[in-house]
Amino acid sequence: MESVVWQGLALSGIFSWIVIACYFHVTNKLRSLLQPWASHHVVRGTSTILKIQKHQHRVLDALFSGLSCVVSVPFYTAFLPLLFWSGHGKLARQMTLLMAFCDYLGNCIKDVVSAPRPNCPPVRRITATKDEEDNALEYGLPSSHTLNTVCLSGFLVYYVLSYIQSEDACVKLGAVTLACLFVGLIGFGRIYLGMHSLIDIIGGLVIGLVILAIWLTVHEYVDAFIVSAQNVTSFWAALSFLLLFAYPTPEFPTPSFEYHTAFDGVAFGIVAGVQQTYQQFHHEAVPRIFTSQLTIPAFLGRMVVGIPTILMVKFCSKALAKWILPVVSNTLGIPIKSTSYIPMLNGSTTEKKSSEIKQSSYIHKMLFFSNQDLFDVDTGIRFLQYAGLAWSVVDLVPSLFSHLRL
């Protein structure tokens, strides 16, 4: 009963914040205070970036571009399923939720402040991958790469030290030192690549440390709630829905909301799947890699079976969502548009409003519905697509492993 009460209070609190933020235009007021300050520091930091880029070299270009890929959201999205299948389910689900928390909060701050990235030119910006090109379309403060690296590397160090139960001070100091050096390399690399100013890196570092401290305090409670509490799936569905509407409206549209929607879906799929199958596939006694119960060949077999399966589920989830959501919307009389997924819903009328509607006031649409509002159905499609993918990682694929004795 207590769990149900605090769930209701949490959802009511978020809903109340959405209403208050919309009514008092909190985002615009915060932006008017923070954006000039951040922009000033970005301009001042240009000289520092140019000094660093005087030492440019092809080796450094490749090194820092590679490091940026290693700590990117797509990399973690690909890495986390392998962590689940390796038997370290607790670490995997906690890192998934931490990643979702970092992604949401970091992108919210970016779009509230709407601070520019360093001007290019004079700064040389290196975007070696399509993912980096998309990242360059986002606002700068804070650096997501720095923020994510601080949180995930910090939590990984904490987990490993707890898992091996080492009391050796040298081991602890060495692990923390390596994590700090890695964070430093990532932050320096983002400046070298021309993707961020020094203020963005400092902001990512500070916010990351705050999030990490909070997560280390609450992660055991969150995990216990997911695996053993009541109404977990329904609560998380409502939470995910409210977070979509709570997302702030940026000064100009960016891909940040799309990234959040995808990882919001991943978090929901993981929570729903783990909550249903914890006793079968995710308890602490499951076989773990590098043991006689889960050998390297067996783990490779899991990869061969699991990766094609989750990709197929992702494709099918997207196809089903593209078919179901327009039907449901039309049934409920909700006018919709699609910016990319459904061409026939991207007509001249909606194209004219696309830049305005794609990330316009979501709370306005939810609370003050009018016939002129068009809902971008791509948001729902993207959410369900990634929720289906994540569910398959922790539910469908482990079931296949069980049947195949992998």
Q: How far apart are CA 275 and CA 232, in angstroms?
A: 7
- Verify whether residue 283 is a known catalytic residue: no
pTM: 0.85
Report helix, strand or coil for 372: coil
The one catalytic residue in 88, 145, 219, 260 is 145
Backbone angles phi, psi at 337, to 5 degrees: -140, 165
The one catalytic residue in 55, 57, 88, 196 is 196
For the chain, how are helix, strand and coil distributed in percent, rounded to 5? Answer: 75, 0, 20
HSE-up of 363 (CA within 13 Å, CB side)? Answer: 20
Q: Running DSSP on this structure, what letter comes out for residue 117?
A: P
Q: How far apart are CA 151 and CA 147, in angstroms?
A: 6
Complete DSSP assignment for 214-268 = HHHHHHHHHHHHHHH-SSHHHHHHHHHHHHHHHSPPPSS--THHHHHHHHHHHHH
Smallest CA-to-CA distance from 142 within 71, 72, 213, 42 is with 42
Peptide bond into 343 cis (omega under 30): no
The residues that bridge with 336 in the sheet, in sequence order, are 375
- Verify whether residue 145 is a known catalytic residue: yes
Q: What is the pLDDT along the chain (406 residues), one digit of tens a residue?
A: 677 888 889 999 999 999 998 889 899 999 999 999 999 999 998 999 999 988 888 898 888 888 888 777 677 777 889 999 988 888 999 999 999 999 899 999 999 999 999 988 888 888 877 777 888 888 988 999 999 999 999 999 998 888 888 777 888 899 899 999 999 999 999 999 989 999 999 999 999 999 999 999 999 999 988 888 788 899 999 999 999 889 998 888 888 888 888 889 999 999 999 988 888 888 888 888 888 888 899 899 999 999 999 999 989 998 998 888 888 888 887 788 777 787 787 754 444 444 444 444 444 444 443 334 577 888 888 999 999 999 999 999 999 998 988 8
Which alpha helices (H) appear in 165-197, and where do they start and end? 169-192
